């Protein structure tokens, strides 16, 4: 039963807003550095970083610089980082074989970071788009993105990452059946403790543009991803996808993008009660950064407000490029 408020003036809802102390006492949600996963981009080379023009403040890092970033994250109390590889067109192929090579840049970064910062959790990305000459998350045959052959490749990719020492695998490809196939392979190859954070409800969004710049996929992509990523008009489908991935062995689930899909986050948490994450994607980050740099918004304030909205919507955590800056503010 919902409580009945006393009539005004006995009930003045502003009373609990009168001071910072009172507002803190009645605050329903809170943010901590432990709520963040920090996505970083890695590239070949030594002791170098390359700015990403469409993502102000974000760089591609060589592995040694990625290790430094991991040490920074750990010192700030950020529990996990997520590695995304930059692959130039010269290294991309139609067979995507580099995706499961033990010596690709992602797997080299996993090993280096684990050696240097063993206590930080390393999440990875499982999809073929950073390695695919066509820029798609799956193999392209006769103009179609094929499902089952792609799943076979994703399994090899997952095993290579688990062998390198990844703690959390993030299948972001949206192929049917890939969670069950990956979980089965992990179990049979003695990786029972590797966690799957599935991008279960990943929408065919226009907010991914800067990310594609960051991983070198913008010029490679032919067509769009609407045959395998979700229609932004749909919400019931997201719940079916979450239920399917959980039934196949996902430990945690992801909604992507974040802020435009808070209603999906809320429905997922209310319906399943499982660890639920959102990805505050590159386009969301770029918009806030651009507005802040132009003096149109208070950058720190909108950063923290945007992150709090994920907690209010039911998320247990968020992948965000703001992770180190937000953690520094939260740490005082």
48, 22 Cβ separation under 8 angstroms? no
For residue 317, give every residue at least 6 positions away whose Cβ sits within 8 Å of its Cβ, in sequence order, or none. 34, 35, 36, 37, 275, 277
**Residue 128: how many CA atoms within 13 Å on its side-chain side?**
31
256 annotated active-site: yes
The answer to whether 235 touches 264, Cβ cutoff 8 Å, is yes
- Structure tokens that stand for 277 in this block: 């994450």
Task: Give the active site residue among 202, 225, 269, 311.
Answer: 202
Helices of type H across the chain? 20-26, 63-76, 105-116, 148-164, 178-188, 209-215, 236-248, 262-272, 282-293, 299-312, 323-330
How far is 327 from 329, CA to CA, in rounded Å? Answer: 5
The catalytically annotated residue of 108, 114, 256, 269 is 256
- Say whether 328 is catalytic: no
At residue 173, the 3 state secondary structure works out as coil
| Residue 195: strand pairing partners | 168
Distance CA 240, CA 271 (A): 11
Active site residues: 202, 256
């Amino acid at each position: 039963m919902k409580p009945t408020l006393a009539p005004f003036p006995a009930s003045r809802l502003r009373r609990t807003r009168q001071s910072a102390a009172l507002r803190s006492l009645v605050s329903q949600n809170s943010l901590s550095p432990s709520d963040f996963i920090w996505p970083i981009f890695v590239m070949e080379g030594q002791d170098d970083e390359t700015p990403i023009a469409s993502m102000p403040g974000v760089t591609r890092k060589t592995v040694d610089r990625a290790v430094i970033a991991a040490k920074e994250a750990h010192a700030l109390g950020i529990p996990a980082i997520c590695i995304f590889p930059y692959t130039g067109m010269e290294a991309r192929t139609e067979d995507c074989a580099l995706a499961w090579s033990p010596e690709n840049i992602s797997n080299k970064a996993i090993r280096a970071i684990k050696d240097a910062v063993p206590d930080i959790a390393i999440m990875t990305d499982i999809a073929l788009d950073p390695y695919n000459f066509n820029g798609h998350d799956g193999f392209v045959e006769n103009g179609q993105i094929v499902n089952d052959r792609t799943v076979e490749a994703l399994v090899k990719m997952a095993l290579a990452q688990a062998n390198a020492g990844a703690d959390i695998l993030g299948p972001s490809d949206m192929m049917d059946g890939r969670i069950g196939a990956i979980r089965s392979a992990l179990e049979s190859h003695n990786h029972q403790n590797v966690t799957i954070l599935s991008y279960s409800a990943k929408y065919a969004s226009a907010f991914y543009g800067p990310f594609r710049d960051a991983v070198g996929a913008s010029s490679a992509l032919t067509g769009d991803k609407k045959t395998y990523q979700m229609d932004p008009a749909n919400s019931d489908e997201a719940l079916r996808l979450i239920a399917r991935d959980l039934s196949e062995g996902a430990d945690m689930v992801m909604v992507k993008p974040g802020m435009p899909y808070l209603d999906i986050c809320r429905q997922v948490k209310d319906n399943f009660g499982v660890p639920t994450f959102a990805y505050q994607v590159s386009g969301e980050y770029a918009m806030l950064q651009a507005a802040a740099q132009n003096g149109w918004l208070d950058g720190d304030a909108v950063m923290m407000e945007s992150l709090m909205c994920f907690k209010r919507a039911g998320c247990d955590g968020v992948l965000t490029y703001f992770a180190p800056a937000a953690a520094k503010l939260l740490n005082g």
